[in-house]
Amino acid sequence: MTTQLSDLESQLATLKQEALQAIATTPTLEALEQLRIQYLGKKGSLSQVLGGMGKLDAADRPRIGASANEVKEQIQTELEQKKTALQSAQIEAKLTAEALDVTMPGVYVPQGHAHPLTSTIDRALDVFVGLGYTVAQGPEMETDYYNFEALNTPADHPARDMQDTFYLSDGNLLRTHTSSVQIRYMENNDPPIRVAAPGRVYRRDTVDATHSAVFHQIEILAVDEGLTFSDLRGTIKIFLEEMFGDLPIRFRPSFFPFTEPSAEVDVQWRGRWLEVLGCGMVDPNVLKAVGYDPEIYTGFAAGFGVERFAMVLHQIDDIRRLYSSDLRFLRQF
């Protein structure tokens, strides 16, 4: 046996011992992969040892090759076994960390509830749906035609001064009332109709305890043959009784460009008269604008601010509280 042959055999034995010991003590899969590269990679320790085979006699090379293959197989076997053991330990640790004790009480999560504006809208719509009305929606960005002209409010009409409007750069505007929904609905539906239109509206109001530039309205519209102011009054009376209880109500003459005659309605609330909504018989010009024959059909309409109703029902002193998102306030409802 030559010295070179003996040296290579010694190097293989040492490499095997070191590799097996390192594999046995490696703690992670990442470290195990580094050991595989260190000992069995293209530039690893085993390849470096085998690089000396070129100096051996041809008769000695098979012997070293067989020993090297044996070392390689043993190292690969230990690597696979260690990898399996580490993977199993990893899974076991994850299962232990994520284990659930089904006997423990759950974490309490408070149940959500409707915002006072939402609950007021839902309560009002429930009344009108019970009276046979259909809920309709429309765009918040409107044209001048639907917001004013079709509602008997031409460009030079003084009633436009009653509603300071947000006009947009493209000539459209943010609707000042949900009456525009009524026009759109009538254009696409033949009478008889009964519709309730809830939604957000916009006006250039100075924000204070009772005013907001953005608020909510619900408007109703009924069109049929033979409808009279008595039908309007009966509908309003039933609605207010459902919302406030059996309270005295009164109708006062008023003016709206899209109704004639028009009235404002008050309820006697906590010892004083409180205005709650406006109403009236649909002006014949509005019926003509949507293609209804005013000689055959009549209609009535009414509208009110949701914030006003919510403030009265819940005794809220400042409209700004409804938009503050203050949980101390909202938890009361």
Of 48, 50, 45, 44, residue with least CA distance to 69: 50
Strands 259-269 and 249-256: antiparallel
Percent of the chain with pLDDT over 70: 92
Element of type H or E holding 16: helix 3-25
Amino acid type, 174: L
Contact status, residue 241 vs residue 269, Cβ threshold 8 Å: no
Residues 225-248 as b/e (b if ≥16 CB within 10 A, e otherwise) read eebeeebbbebbeebbeebbeeee
The number of angstroms, rounded, from the C-alpha of 121 to the middle of its chain's C-alpha atoms is 19
Q: Which of 31-45, 203-217, 293-307 has the highest mean pLDDT?
A: 293-307
Counted residue by residue, the chain has a size of: 333
SS3 of 161-176: the string is HHCCCCECCCCCEECC
Quote the pLDDT of residue 1.
Answer: 45
pLDDT at 138: 94
Tell me the per-residue pLDDT of 50-108, one tens digit each, with 9 for 90 and over.
Answer: 666 656 666 666 777 777 778 778 888 888 888 888 888 888 888 888 877 788 888 88
288 φ/ψ sector (left φ>0, alpha ψ -120 to 50, else beta): alpha
CA distance 280 to 273: 20
What is the identity of the amino acid at 115?
Answer: H
pTM: 0.66
The predicted pLDDT at position 60 comes to 65
